[in-house]
Amino acid sequence: MTSRATPRPSTRAVATATPALDDAWRRFIPGLITDDVRLDLPLDHSNPDDPRTIQVYARIVATPEGLDKPYLVFLQGGPGCESPRPTLTDPQFPGWLARALQDYRVVLLDQRGTGLSSPVSEPVGGAEDQAEYLTHMRADQIVEDCEDIRRHLGVERWAALGQSFGGFTLLRYLSAHPGSLTAGYFTGGLSAVGHHPDSVYAVTFEGMARKSEEYYRRFPEDRDKVRALVDLAADNGVRTPWGDVVTPSRVRSLGNCLGASGGAEKLHYLLELEPSSRAFRHDLAGMLPFGGRNPLYAVIHESCYADGATTGWAAARALPDAFRDDPTLLTGEHLFPEWFDTDSALQPWKEVAHLLAYHPWPRLYDVDALRAAQVPCAAAVYYHDAYVPLQLSMETAALLPDMHPWVTSEYEHNGSNASGGAVLDRLIGLARRDLVR
């Protein structure tokens, strides 16, 4: 393993005590060895006068024979979700890990505010202070955390893999620090650059309309079931096991599961159940997006598309007339402000979410820097992606001079996991066309 360097003073990072190399690696996961990194880092990397710090955690994973391999940092989807916990005994979680370990030591970063990185769990203090704190949870600050971890490990350059929102973060990395990267792999994560969130959500609604119709072609009897369920929700007749009212828009958000392989079947089996049954209520609660386990996912979600804009509840504003007229059209990764009134897990965040909805977010991406980034990249662009639209992804891919996009209809948005490593294997091969030339 590469010896660990003390972070440069300018980062203000303070590492926790690290045991000797022979004692650092742990072997409690069959077939893997792991090590931890915990750094105290600035809350606001852009303001050296701000004394506030947070702790950022990363787990390093390798095979026993792979201690000399280069590093790959994994950037998780979300926003507001921690990195997966590694195992090789379950091929689906994460499905890409075994393939990555053939070539790399993997750094599983818990992005700030998640997992073991000073997690955001409940609002602390006043709403304005909490909202200001959460403005520092975006991709720009996450990238600076990565840079501090890279320097701490004594690594000059490393590769990065970004899934969904993690790809947005990787795009920021290429915009801000391309010289730190040997390769970039995107899986369903080529964000729109320079587009207002309204226009992005308008395109995703078009995609969800198509997915809804595809679903009803497979399960035609479910259209009436969805219509009846939406009507029942309008009369406050749909509730979670703990009594929360599930509004019509919340019911329609079940379309979110159509963006993953196996999601259509999962929705169909839910609709087979009687809505008044305990089984239905529990299964429904588990399938609704933007739940309470990771509140950041809801509270700062729309900011991930705010490339120099105020979101102002963009998804709710962009809801097309077709969705207003047809209650059976299902929504996807679209957040509605009313959920902060009815969902007990989100209610404490209502005022904070409203403040963030009208926060003027700075630009995330530098188009000129992206066009100049000489980093071999490859991207899996899913043709039917429900969350990250194909046309906007290809527009962004064209900005990167060493990008090799692979458009596929074989997988949905979760292809990196569902493929068992085949997607990542394809991307590594595509990027190496540049690495070896």
DSSP code string of 356-402? HHT--PPP---HHHHHH----EEEEEETT-SSS-HHHHHHHHTT-TT
Are 248 and 344 in the same domain?
yes
Are 61 and 141 in the same domain?
yes
Would residue 297 count as lying in a domain?
yes
Are 64 and 185 in the same domain?
yes
pLDDT at 94: 86
Are 265 and 165 in the same domain?
no
> What band does 292 get if pLDDT is binned at 50, 70 and 90?
confident
Residue 310: how many CB atoms within 10 A of its CB?
16
CATH of residue 32: 3.40.50.1820
Interhelix angle 197-218/222-234, rounded to 10 degrees, is 130
pLDDT at 26: 77
The mean pLDDT of 398-417, rounded to a whole number, is 96
**Phi then psi dihedrals of residue 190, to 5 deg:** -90, 100
Are 141 and 207 in the same domain?
no
Would residue 1 count as lying in a domain?
no
Would residue 412 count as lying in a domain?
yes
pLDDT at 16: 38
Final residue belonging to a domain, choices 331, 357, 383:
357
pLDDT at 435: 58
pLDDT at 88: 67
Are 258 and 307 in the same domain?
yes
Among 210, 209, 162, 211, CA closest to 189:
162
Strands (E), 43-145: 53-62, 71-75, 105-110
Are 393 and 413 in the same domain?
yes
Torsion over CA: 195, 295, 73, 412 (sign): negative
Among 298, 303, 215, CA closest to 257:
215
Are 33 and 166 in the same domain?
yes
What domain range is 213 assigned to?
A: 198-357
Are 230 and 318 in the same domain?
yes
Among 315, 335, 290, 304, CA closest to 169:
304
Final residue belonging to a domain, choices 357, 382, 407:
357
Are 185 and 246 in the same domain?
no
Final residue belonging to a domain, choices 305, 335, 357:
357
Are 56 and 102 in the same domain?
yes
**Phi then psi dihedrals of residue 163, to 5 deg:** -100, 125
Per-residue pLDDT reduced to its tens digit, 152-172: 999 999 999 999 999 999 999
Are 207 and 159 in the same domain?
no
Per-residue pLDDT reduced to its tens digit, 9-68: 333 344 333 333 345 677 778 888 999 999 999 999 999 999 999 999 999 999 999 999
> What band does 123 get if pLDDT is binned at 50, 70 and 90?
confident
Total number of domains constituting the chain: 2
